[in-house]
């Protein structure tokens, strides 16, 4: 049976089924659809794409906000990759070597990866914004002989710490020119340093035959962000990444679409790499952003993509920017609310997203043009996405929004709605992805039990990580004897057989009365406040209530301040008791709506002027809060919040 026929046989009211082993699986599983690919390595997939789509544009870039994208065809990228592969070997990188790439998302990142896989090298992508200790840790654990880096500044970090990195011999820099001082320092440290374009030139003069990988060879190490300790290297082989990309393309994309994808999220992350392989296998185009966050919308408008990956933080900001222009009570807001409600009713009636309604022509077209006007599919993942934001994006932009769930350990996607049915999932993510087996197990300390369709999410799949590199104990903690990955997330099955992530097993703390609190769950709920940009919830086993550090949403707070005759200086507002009272009251409003228990309600807050950032060591490169680091930096502030709880309650 074909995949299309299988879709037609799926009941919308029963999205997953229970197999003979008592495990939840996709209904697609019972049709025995063969999705294994005939090109089981990234190198073979690249060859297939070059042969089939050779003269079509593949990778594009632009260096400023005005020029259009400059495109390179599949054949052109293949020829450049061949030269680079030969050049890398000529300067001493042998087949099968582990090579680090530490750079922003850009065309050269993917070009280098395609080249390295031509001679079976293993790519270790790293975030360009990470502590110096992480550079050293990964270089030593992976025994890197070579790294490819964004800039001279990053090269200097490696050279400065060379005595701690015993295997490092080669640094390739993406910048075109190296000054005398850094070249001399590299020579003194016994390291070859060379610009990427010189490597490509050497390869064109000294060509070498490819030494392609086997399906079982390691393709990449994906280092986890390390929220609770040293990062762990997730080992992914070629057949795993390629087959997962194939499954994603065939169940969550549409074959009728010629993909145009904007690449701006870190390539050190598994899902961006997966989507890029999906696009390549389809002969699509990948345009790379210019690297400046403030110009991201301009990049989107210039490229006019039809596929976009947008984590919840990006979608939340898009929503907030639009709504900031529509203040409550204004005529514009009234028009927007009426149009939104009418279009939402039409979408509910026809059970599909649309951008051809009268309301699109009257109002929503201008919002759709903010993202280039061609968006058909948005993927969101990496953090919980509220139902309200999901519906807002679908309605305002007239596109499918697929909320996905997965980890590097299961090579990306474990739970996702199929494209045909994604509109039905506003209260859950979706069913298990094709080939995944999912079960929930009891977490008694948090009062979650599998008999109630709640518990820790365990996932088993034919294609998952091999292990954590050089960490057998950590591997055994994560993958049990039956092959299930223990995710640490708490899930709940809907009556239709779709999964919703409702809590987190890790980062749980006990309050004085013996009740457990999962701060990440509370943070997700409280982030629905229009006045909050970031929130860190914390607790103490000697205290009865949690407290929080709050970074206000500047735009919405300024609007409120103007309406209430307050100064619009952020520092002044963060120290104004009226503002603290406003936000605390809104947190209590949300607690009431969500029916939170008394011990889950925030007792006191401190407002922070500055966002928690990666550069300050308070967020991981995937924008998760490093809880221990935040506690350490704000230790005295957190102590003061508990000491002043009584005063806050009296003032409220």
User: According to the model, what pLDDT value does residue 225 have?
Assistant: 66
Per-residue model confidence as pLDDT tens digits over 412-449: 777 776 555 555 545 567 888 888 899 999 988 778 89
Distance from C-alpha of 614 to C-alpha of 611, rounded to nearest angstrom: 10
Per-residue model confidence as pLDDT tens digits over 589-639: 999 998 888 888 999 999 999 999 888 888 887 778 888 789 889 999 999
Per-residue model confidence as pLDDT tens digits over 233-290: 999 999 999 988 887 777 666 556 689 999 999 999 898 999 999 999 989 999 999 9
* DSSP state at residue 431: S
Q: At what angle do helices 577-593 and 519-526 cross, to 10 degrees?
A: 110
User: According to the model, what pLDDT value does residue 117 have?
Assistant: 98
User: According to the model, what pLDDT value does residue 381 have?
Assistant: 82
Give the CATH number of the domain where residue 403 resides.
Answer: 3.40.50.12780
Percent of the chain scoring above 90 in pLDDT: 57
Q: How far is CA 140 from the centre of its chain?
A: 26
In a domain, 241, yes or no: no
Per-residue model confidence as pLDDT tens digits over 483-504: 999 998 889 998 878 888 887 7
460 and 578 both lie in a single domain: no
What are the two backbone dihedrals, phi and then psi, of residue 594, each rounded to the nearest 5 degrees? -85, 0
Q: How far is CA 22 from the centre of its chain?
A: 31
* DSSP state at residue 363: I
Q: Are strands 547-552 and 605-607 parallel, antiparallel or unpaired?
A: parallel
369 and 499 both lie in a single domain: yes
User: According to the model, what pLDDT value does residue 474 have?
Assistant: 93
226 and 346 both lie in a single domain: no
Query: Quick one: pLDDT band at residue 404, thresholds 50, 70, 90?
Result: confident
Of residues 113 and 6, which shows the higher confidence score? 113
384 and 487 both lie in a single domain: yes
**CB distance 484 to 459 below 8 Å:** yes
Per-residue model confidence as pLDDT tens digits over 106-146: 999 999 999 999 999 999 999 887 878 889 999 999 999 99
393 and 488 both lie in a single domain: yes
Other CB atoms within a 10 A radius of the CB of residue 4 amount to 9
Distance from C-alpha of 571 to C-alpha of 605, rounded to nearest angstrom: 15
What are the two backbone dihedrals, phi and then psi, of residue 485, each rounded to the nearest 5 degrees? -90, 125
Assess whether pLDDT exceeds 80 at residue 39.
no
330 and 467 both lie in a single domain: yes
In a domain, 651, yes or no: no
Assess whether pLDDT exceeds 70 at residue 298.
yes
User: According to the model, what pLDDT value does residue 387 have?
Assistant: 79
118 and 18 both lie in a single domain: no
Distance from C-alpha of 489 to C-alpha of 458, rounded to nearest angstrom: 9
Q: Find the mean pLDDT for residues 150-170.
A: 96
Q: Find the mean pLDDT for residues 282-301.
A: 91
Q: Residue 565 belongs to what H/E stretch?
A: none
451 and 348 both lie in a single domain: yes
Q: Out of 477, 504, 531, pick the residue that ends a domain.
A: 504
Concatenated DSSP letters of 89-132: HHTT--TT-EEEEE--S-HHHHHHHHHHHHTTPEEEEE-SS--H
Percent of the chain scoring above 70 in pLDDT: 91
In a domain, 406, yes or no: yes
Distance from C-alpha of 548 to C-alpha of 630, rounded to nearest angstrom: 11
Give the CATH number of the domain where residue 216 resides.
Answer: 3.40.50.980
In a domain, 652, yes or no: no
Q: Find the mean pLDDT for residues 287-297.
A: 89
By residue range, what is the domain housing residue 622? 509-644
User: According to the model, what pLDDT value does residue 484 have?
Assistant: 95
273 and 382 both lie in a single domain: yes
User: According to the model, what pLDDT value does residue 8 have?
Assistant: 56
pTM of this prediction? Answer: 0.83
- Conformational region of residue 412, where left means phi above 0, alpha means psi within -120 to 50, and beta covers everything else: left
In a domain, 252, yes or no: no
* b/e code 468-482 from CB counts within 10 Å (16+ = b): bbebeebbeebbeee
Give the CATH number of the domain where residue 546 resides.
Answer: 3.30.300.30
528 and 424 both lie in a single domain: no
Per-residue model confidence as pLDDT tens digits over 47-87: 999 999 999 999 999 877 677 899 999 999 999 999 999 99
User: According to the model, what pLDDT value does residue 252 have?
Assistant: 63
Per-residue model confidence as pLDDT tens digits over 533-584: 999 999 887 788 899 999 999 989 999 999 899 888 899 999 999 999 999 9
In a domain, 140, yes or no: yes
58 and 179 both lie in a single domain: yes
Q: Out of 438, 469, 504, pick the residue that ends a domain.
A: 504
Q: Out of 465, 482, 504, pick the residue that ends a domain.
A: 504
User: According to the model, what pLDDT value does residue 650 have?
Assistant: 43
**CB distance 467 to 475 below 8 Å:** yes
Number of domains in the chain: 3
Per-residue model confidence as pLDDT tens digits over 189-218: 999 999 999 999 999 999 999 999 999 999
In a domain, 405, yes or no: yes
Q: Residue 444 belongs to what H/E stretch?
A: none
Per-residue model confidence as pLDDT tens digits over 347-390: 888 878 899 999 999 899 999 999 999 999 898 887 777 778 88
Give the side-chain half-sphere CA count within 13 A for 509.
21
Of residues 101 and 64, which shows the higher confidence score? 101
Distance from C-alpha of 62 to C-alpha of 120, rounded to nearest angstrom: 30
In a domain, 325, yes or no: yes
60 and 170 both lie in a single domain: yes
Query: Quick one: pLDDT band at residue 227, thresholds 50, 70, 90?
Result: low
């Amino acid at each position: 049976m074909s995949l299309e026929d299988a879709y037609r046989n799926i009941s919308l009211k029963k999205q997953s089924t229970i197999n003979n082993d008592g495990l939840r699986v996709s209904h697609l599983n019972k049709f025995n659809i063969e999705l294994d690919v005939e090109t089981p390595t990234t190198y073979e997939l690249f060859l297939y794409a070059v042969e089939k789509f050779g003269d079509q544009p593949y990778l594009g870039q632009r260096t400023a906000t005005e020029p259009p994208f400059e495109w390179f065809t599949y054949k052109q990228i293949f020829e450049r990759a061949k030269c680079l592969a030969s050049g890398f070997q000529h300067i001493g990188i042998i087949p099968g070597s582990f090579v680090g790439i530490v750079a922003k998302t850009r065309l050269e990142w993917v070009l280098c990866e395609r080249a390295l896989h031509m001679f079976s090298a293993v790519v270790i992508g790293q975030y360009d914004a990470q502590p110096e200790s992480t550079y050293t840790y990964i270089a030593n654990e992976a025994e890197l002989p070579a790294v490819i880096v964004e800039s001279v500044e990053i090269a200097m970090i490696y050279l400065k710490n060379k005595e701690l990195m015993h295997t490092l011999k080669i640094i390739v820099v993406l910048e075109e020119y190296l000054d005398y001082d850094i070249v001399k320092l590299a020579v003194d440290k016994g390291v070859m340093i060379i610009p990427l374009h010189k490597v490509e030139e050497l390869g064109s003069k000294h060509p070498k035959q490819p030494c392609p990988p086997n399906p079982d060879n390691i393709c990449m190490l994906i280092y986890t962000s390390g929220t609770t300790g040293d990062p762990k290297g997730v080992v992914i082989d070629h057949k795993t990444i390629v087959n997962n990309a194939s499954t994603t393309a065939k169940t969550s994309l549409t074959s009728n679409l010629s993909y145009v994808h904007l690449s701006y999220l870190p390539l050190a992350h598994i899902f961006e790499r997966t989507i890029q392989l999906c696009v390549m296998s389809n002969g699509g185009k990948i345009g790379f952003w210019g690297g400046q966050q403030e110009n991201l919308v301009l990049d989107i408008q210039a490229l006019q993509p039809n596929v976009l990956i947008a984590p919840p933080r990006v979608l939340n900001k898009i929503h907030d920017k639009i709504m900031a222009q529509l203040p409550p009570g204004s005529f514009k807001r009234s028009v927007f609310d009426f149009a939104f409600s009418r279009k939402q009713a039409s979408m509910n009636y026809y059970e599909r997203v649309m951008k051809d309604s009268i309301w699109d022509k009257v109002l929503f077209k201008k919002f759709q043009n903010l993202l280039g006007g061609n968006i058909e599919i948005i993927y969101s993942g990496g953090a919980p996405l509220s139902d309200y934001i999901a519906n807002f994006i679908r309605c305002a932009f007239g596109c499918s929004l697929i909320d996905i769930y997965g980890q590097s350990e299961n090579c990306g996607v474990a739970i996702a709605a199929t494209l045909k049915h994604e509109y039905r999932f506003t209260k859950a993510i979706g069913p298990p992805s094709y080939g995944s087996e999912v079960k929930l197990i009891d977490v008694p300390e948090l009062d979650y039990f599998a008999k109630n369709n709640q518990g820790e999410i365990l996932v088993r799949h034919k294609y998952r990580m091999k292990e954590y590199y050089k960490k057998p104990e950590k591997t055994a903690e994560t993958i049990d004897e039956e092959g299930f990955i223990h995710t640490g997330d708490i899930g709940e099955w809907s009556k239709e057989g779709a999964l919703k992530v409702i809590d987190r097993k890790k980062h749980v703390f006990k309050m004085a009365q013996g009740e457990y609190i999962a701060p990440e769950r509370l943070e997700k709920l409280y982030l629905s406040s229009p006045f909050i940009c970031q929130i860190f919830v914390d607790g103490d086993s000697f205290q009865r209530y949690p407290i929080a550090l709050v970074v206000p949403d500047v735009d919405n707070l300024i609007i409120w301040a103007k309406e209430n005759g307050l100064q619009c200086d952020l520092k002044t507002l963060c120290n104004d008791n009226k503002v603290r009272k406003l936000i605390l009251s809104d947190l209590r409003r949300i607690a009431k709506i969500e029916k939170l228990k008394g011990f889950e309600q925030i007792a006191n807050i401190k407002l922070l002027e500055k966002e928690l950032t990666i550069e300050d060591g308070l967020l991981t490169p995937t924008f998760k809060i490093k809880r221990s680091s935040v506690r350490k930096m704000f230790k005295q502030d957190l102590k003061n919040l508990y000491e002043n709880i009584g005063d806050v309650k009296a003032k409220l």
